[in-house]
Structure 1
């Protein structure tokens, strides 16, 4: 069975003006755009409960047929007081004239003396619940404590439970908290604080990661005794101190159903010497290794060095020269969710995709700076389209304002199997 189509979602969402909202009162709408173009969701101000007070909508996480959105201050928010789960996406009758729409559900706010009201956005993950709904989880872990806190809420799926609202008003469906032993290593001399960089959903687990030194995995569907496990980054990738804008040179994601780590580094960053300074892009794949645990299905991972390529090889390829881009180090944006060889980069005003082992540019969108908002540094997320809107919609996209003629393929792109899906 073919994989569902996917889109690149900008994390800074569009806010519908009040005048437009009055003309067409749709809470969530989106005109889907084929990768590498970027899709932007439009959110009505009415979705936010209470006064907005300058807060803007931001995409927290993508999940199976759902999106998790928040309202917060600034383009790069770190905390929020409100979460909204967007579901039940409906395909329009005419995708060229009418946008796809979704239904928002306000996530119940947390109560209780020990549960914080605010959410740390980079520590909030979204995954499927075992009974067919959805699960939102936030992990709180610090160096100053030998315990971590896992905060969770399980949603109901109205198709299974016949609920009028996604979240039940019963107490049993409110936020719960679980104190767990901290998984952070304490015997190897590492002393820096855990700095959350994001969360990915993979292999029935959520993986919280700090791009400077590791990941923490957990199956949040285990109610009574979930296990938190720490995993190091690939060999040589540990940093004593996080680097500024580390998201522009490192990425942890899921591609082709495997956990991936990608980075841009120099030889001396990897090998411990400073004689060579050639910049390279490299990928590692996380391979699960059973460690004979207690039968809970948890495991360790071993990093497999998948590929590595110098930027000189990419710059010298005819496909790169045809783009007329300068020979400069770009920013990592994301990895193709189907083809791990293909990495998306941003440079100047252009978003482009490279088949790294083949050192060949396979897609480019010029003048894309307004869509990807590069100053955000955490600007986009991939999303597999729900079945309700996947069929025939992406092929009907039209260029956004100011983007006409800005997309092109390079010779050989059609034979690579990427770009069009």
Structure 2
């Protein structure tokens, strides 16, 4: 008697995850109106790893990437809330809360003028039915103090919370990312080799300092000065905060991982020579060169599964077995400045549960905020005039890219070829 095998059940929602591209795709308003679901401000297309999942936004919400800046998804919560930072042509940074399930987007009110807005220094935390957006900024008076700028959804205003810092927070710190973990937001400061953490929900938050593991054999500075995230990253995997670094010499590079313990100490886990991976048959089958890759991300559930970028490709390595277990072209929007390479700074592991109703109360507040903003907006005539002015500035920025970026045409041609190639592969897949 033949045994009938039923297909395996789908994975539980908490195990589903995506590799979210932090740079969204920006389309013209008419195209968005034609292709988005009715009433949607944004659209989110989720794909299975190692392919990219993508947020698409209209031009009225965010300008496209230019030579000096690009729109950036600073945070993504499992409930579907995304925090988008958009840099307008006159350098103003605006924050937008988008919801992947409903396609709604709400622009948060203007911040105090003392806060310049920085995509890598702002984070998002959802706790219960509340949501807070928080931005960390050091003082400019040389005192080493800092301030936390917080926006609680439903309160319609920004609140500045002063922080005492010991050791002091230097004005020239280099924020790389903000991670939500353990009821706190963690700012990754790679320039000074530390994490800064606090609970943005408290009235008087305490800023904690956690030094990163000391690594003596750093790679030459020239290889990652403009791209800290290429050889260092901090992210949550397997329920713990983990640090990953590529180090050693250019001829004998290593990749190492550490896990943060409850005592805020770093426990070393893996130390793998990249050469061991390069000579493995699974890597040779990819036809990739023996070059030092850039870090992409850790699998959110399996800390032994590490993703790398090399050129336009992404591949995953099982650090325990030292072999490649996933490989693919990675199609995503790129920054217009070709000196910004693909690295952990441009992607996020996103565990999104589309059935979640955890943020329904937050969505209600955001809709109310959107209605208030619409009623207080300037007249239509003034609004149209400002829109034309903004559109002209955006057009000038795009022309500057074509003139001053010698790789613009080549990059765009390659991107279109990749999209067509990936599209053919998907159509041919059974």
1:3 shift after superposition: 2.4
Q: Which runs of 5+ in 1 are unaligned?
A: 91-100, 156-166, 268-275, 290-300, 391-398, 408-421
Q: Judging changes above 3 Å, is the alpha-carbon distance between structure 1 residues 316 and 46 closer, same or farther for their aligned structure 2 residues? A: same
Alignment of 1:11-410 (within 5 A): 11-24=22-35, 26-47=40-61, 57-65=71-79, 66-72=81-87, 80-87=92-99, 89-90=100-101, 101-111=102-112, 116-129=114-127, 131-141=128-138, 144-155=142-153, 167-168=154-155, 173-184=156-167, 193-212=172-191, 213-223=193-203, 225-236=204-215, 243-266=225-248, 278-289=252-263, 301-366=264-329, 368=330, 370=332, 375=341, 377=343, 378-388=345-355, 401-404=420-423
Alignment of 1:4-15 (within 5 A): 4-15=15-26
Q: Secondary structure at the match of 2:120?
A: helix
Q: Contact 1:27–1:46 at 8 Å: present in 2 too? A: no
Q: Secondary structure at the match of 2:229?
A: helix
Q: Secondary structure at the match of 2:341?
A: helix
Q: Distance in 1 between matches of 2:70 and 2:126?
A: 27
Deviations 1:365-388 (A, max 9, x none): 03x355566735422112111332
Q: Secondary structure at the match of 2:96?
A: strand
Deviations 1:11-37 (A, max 9, x none): 111112233134245311122211100
Q: Secondary structure at the match of 1:251?
A: strand
Q: Secondary structure at the match of 1:338?
A: coil
Q: Distance in 2 between matches of 1:281 and 1:17?
A: 42
Q: Contact 1:10–1:372 at 8 Å: present in 2 too? A: no
Stretch deviating more after TM superposition (312-321 or 234-243): 234-243
1:121 shift after superposition: 1.4
Q: Distance in 1 between matches of 2:64 and 2:171?
A: 36
Q: Contact 1:80–1:120 at 8 Å: present in 2 too? A: no
Q: Distance in 2 between matches of 1:53 and 1:360?
A: 36
Q: Distance in 2 between matches of 1:106 and 1:406?
A: 37
Q: Distance in 2 between matches of 1:52 and 1:243?
A: 25
Q: Secondary structure at the match of 1:121?
A: coil
Q: Contact 1:142–1:194 at 8 Å: present in 2 too? A: no
Q: Which runs of 5+ in 2 are unaligned?
A: 1-11, 358-417
Deviations 1:266-299 (A, max 9, x none): 06xxxxxxxx95210000001121xxxxxxxxxx
Q: Distance in 1 between matches of 2:311 and 2:173?
A: 32
Q: Contact 2:148–2:162 at 8 Å: present in 1 too? A: yes
Q: Secondary structure at the match of 1:183?
A: coil
Q: Distance in 2 between matches of 1:405 and 1:360?
A: 28
Deviations 1:79-102 (A, max 9, x none): 752100012x43xxxxxxxxxx52
Q: Judging changes above 3 Å, is the alpha-carbon distance between structure 1 residues 126 and 192 closer, same or farther for their aligned structure 2 residues? A: closer
Deviations 1:128-173 (A, max 9, x none): 13x5121111111258223211111111xxxxxxxxxxx44xxxx4
Q: Distance in 2 between matches of 1:353 and 1:359?
A: 10
Q: Contact 1:81–1:117 at 8 Å: present in 2 too? A: no
1:125 shift after superposition: 0.8
Q: Judging changes above 3 Å, is the alpha-carbon distance between structure 1 residues 59 and 80 closer, same or farther for their aligned structure 2 residues? A: farther
Q: Distance in 1 between matches of 2:125 and 2:32?
A: 31
Q: Distance in 1 between matches of 2:272 and 2:239?
A: 23
Regions of 4+ moved over 3 Å: 51-57, 237-244, 369-374, 404-407
Question: Who is 2:379 aligned against?
Answer: none
Aligned residues between the structures: 339
1:253 shift after superposition: 0.6
Q: Secondary structure at the match of 1:375?
A: coil
Q: Contact 1:372–1:380 at 8 Å: present in 2 too? A: no
Q: Distance in 2 between matches of 1:108 and 1:318?
A: 54
The normalised TM-score by structure 2 is 0.71
